[in-house]
Structure 1
Amino acid sequence: MPIAVSACLLGEPCRYDGKSRPCEAVLRLRATHELVSVCPETLGGLPVPRTPCEIVAAERALRVVDADGGDATDAFLAGAAKTVELVRERGCTLAVLKAKSPSCGNGFVYDGTFSGALVPGYGVAARALREAGVRVVDEAQLAACLEVGEARHPGCAPAVLATTSAECPSLGTERLVLRPLTSDDIDDVFAYCSDPAVGPDAGWAPHRTREDARMFVEVIASRPHVFGIFEKVSAGEGAGAGIGTEGPCIGSIGLIRDPQRRNVDCLMLGYALARSAWGRGYMTEAAREVLRYGFAELGLGLITCTHYTFNDRSRRVIEKSGFVHEGTLHGMEATPDGLAQDAEAYYLTRERWSRLQGAVGA
């Protein structure tokens, strides 16, 4: 996967002061990924070195000024447009940009007073990339995700860079293994997906043939951050089973795009579980691990979830996982029987999740 990267983080001397800010976490990616160097400000025609610029936070309309009072808005907009064009041409879906920059800042930028004060916001190019559907992280966010991933999954590729299920690490809880599905799991998937008590509650028709299950696994495998759920089998529970051996697949869980939100820092939690595994707390256990994965290893800012209003089992899982109810989506979609169903919508922010983890550990 090609990754767009601020040129200064790659060691190119293109900053306003004529210097660079090489980042070790970024440079390490060169060994495994194609890095596409971008400097929105030079793409917009600004020289190196140049007078420092900031976004004027006090004004509602976008305005970028330099330290001498000159208006640089047009150059920044032109550079942002060229950056988006280049990133699209190269097929990048992730950009690692320089923190706090008026072009590349991601979450915080300087406020336009040239006093060193930061305010919540995004650089001009970062805004344009996010609007174009490109996920943006800064160098500190990337380093944090890589550090957590390496500690949890030594030797595995970083989850934040995954583009398919096969590139994601396996996860584990006390009783479960969560790993990417493969063609070897098709029979297990068909066993629970063909149950009429499972699919309709999640919005899809029960599988009628093994081919339905095969296509389901292929679709899941083409997406990142979606996992099969497997029980850990202890010694003595099944022929030849050793401690930590996984049993058959009993469900799936993952983080997918939320069709209700245009937010590249947000994914939606979805799941399904075999009827034989209901009532044992498995889905709550799996959901908590996937939420940790989403916030700590992917660096997401928001995770959402919905359930049909009639689905009390799913509601209990969501509430136990710390989500906040935000309302009812009336007639959200039609279930396989053709009836329009209401759904309850929930959200969980990174900040709330972090507070809940602290409360659990207290």
Structure 2
Amino acid sequence: MRAFLETGRLTLRPFRDSDADDVLALDNDPEVMRYINGGAPTTRAEVLRETMPALLRHYACLDGPAGVEGRGYWAAQDRGSGAFLGWFEFRPLRADSCDEVELGYRLDRRAWGGGLATEGSRALIRLGFTELGVLRVTANTMTVNERSRRVMEKAGLRYVRTFFEEWPDAIEGSELGDVEYAVTRAQWRDGRGGSE
């Protein structure tokens, strides 16, 4: 399957049905899921019924280089070994427009701490603003998720607001709310995004 995007160390490609086992393993690591669902386990049935359809959804406005079908989520592989490392989200907030997209990432713990989340995020933002017609990139995380917030800042996004939502199950830190970060194409072009 052709890559959607390559960086120095990553290949981002469309998901395929055969990725379900890798997604299941990723979603069953309590540390990976700590700020998503408090580290609760995920069943294979949930992955097949809920997660995989979202990962496989097509967005025509994101159709990429070399005719690669646009998706809102991209499987991340180690460019050298081809090992599955997790995924990146670059999903339109409205199905009919790529003006505004949400950036996200979920990486295996062995990919933490080496700048891969920042590398993939920067590459997606660059592609979005230069080739896909994106006007604004937004990202959210829990207020207490300092690592993810730092990735957002390094990728060029700026803090916008803290907000509170009702979640079905409270997890540690949820009482402090969530944060939104964002960058517009104009800010990115002017170098007014986040820190390096």
Name 1:308's counterpart in structure 2.
142
Aligned 8 A contact 1:189 1:250 in 2: no
TM-superposition CA deviations, 1:24-52 (whole Å, max 9, x none): xxxxxxxxxxxxxxxxxxxxxxxxxxxxx
- Distance (Å, rounded) in 2 between the aligned partners of 1:198 and 1:340: 20
Structure 1 residue runs without a partner (length 5+)? 1-165, 234-244, 358-362
User: CA shift at 1:264, angstroms?
Assistant: 5.9
| Candidates 253, 256, 261, aligned match of 2:91 | 256
Aligned 8 A contact 1:332 1:342 in 2: yes
Name 1:231's counterpart in structure 2.
78
Q: Which amino acid aligns with 1:308?
A: M
Name 2:55's counterpart in structure 1.
220
Identical counterparts, % of pairs: 31
Name 2:82's counterpart in structure 1.
246
Query: How many residues are aligned here?
Result: 175
TM-score (norm 1): 0.44
User: CA shift at 1:293, angstroms?
Assistant: 2.0
**Does 2:100 align with 1:266?**
yes
Q: Which amino acid aligns with 1:269?
A: L
| Candidates 188, 191, 195, aligned match of 1:353 | 188
**Greater C-alpha radius of gyration:** 1
The verdict on how the C-alpha distance between 1:337 and 1:220 changes in structure 2, with shifts beyond 3 A counting, is same
**Does 2:118 align with 1:296?**
no
Aligned 8 A contact 1:193 1:274 in 2: no
Name 1:101's counterpart in structure 2.
none
Name 1:332's counterpart in structure 2.
165
- Distance (Å, rounded) in 1 between the aligned partners of 2:141 and 2:122: 17
Q: Secondary structure at the match of 1:356?
A: coil
Q: Which amino acid aligns with 2:53?
A: E
Q: Secondary structure at the match of 2:45?
A: helix
- Distance (Å, rounded) in 2 between the aligned partners of 1:320 and 1:189: 26
Q: Which amino acid aligns with 2:117?
A: M
The verdict on how the C-alpha distance between 1:264 and 1:180 changes in structure 2, with shifts beyond 3 A counting, is closer
Q: Which amino acid aligns with 2:6?
A: G
Aligned 8 A contact 2:74 2:87 in 1: yes
Name 1:189's counterpart in structure 2.
23
User: CA shift at 1:284, angstroms?
Assistant: 0.5
**Does 2:157 align with 1:323?**
yes
Decide which moves more: 203-212 or 317-326: 203-212
User: CA shift at 1:341, angstroms?
Assistant: 5.2
The verdict on how the C-alpha distance between 1:333 and 1:271 changes in structure 2, with shifts beyond 3 A counting, is farther
The verdict on how the C-alpha distance between 1:257 and 1:170 changes in structure 2, with shifts beyond 3 A counting, is closer
Structure 2 residue runs without a partner (length 5+)? 59-70
User: CA shift at 1:350, angstroms?
Assistant: 0.4
TM-superposition CA deviations, 1:160-206 (whole Å, max 9, x none): xxxxxx9x952111111111111221111111111111224135864
Larger relative CO (CA 8 A, sep 6+): 1 or 2?
Answer: 2
Q: Secondary structure at the match of 1:334?
A: coil
Q: Which amino acid aligns with 2:167?
A: A
Q: Which amino acid aligns with 1:192?
A: L
* Structural RMSD (CA): 2.6
- Distance (Å, rounded) in 2 between the aligned partners of 1:280 and 1:269: 19
Aligned 8 A contact 2:98 2:132 in 1: no
User: CA shift at 1:336, angstroms?
Assistant: 3.9
- Distance (Å, rounded) in 2 between the aligned partners of 1:202 and 1:295: 28
Q: Secondary structure at the match of 2:191?
A: helix
User: CA shift at 1:214, angstroms?
Assistant: 2.6
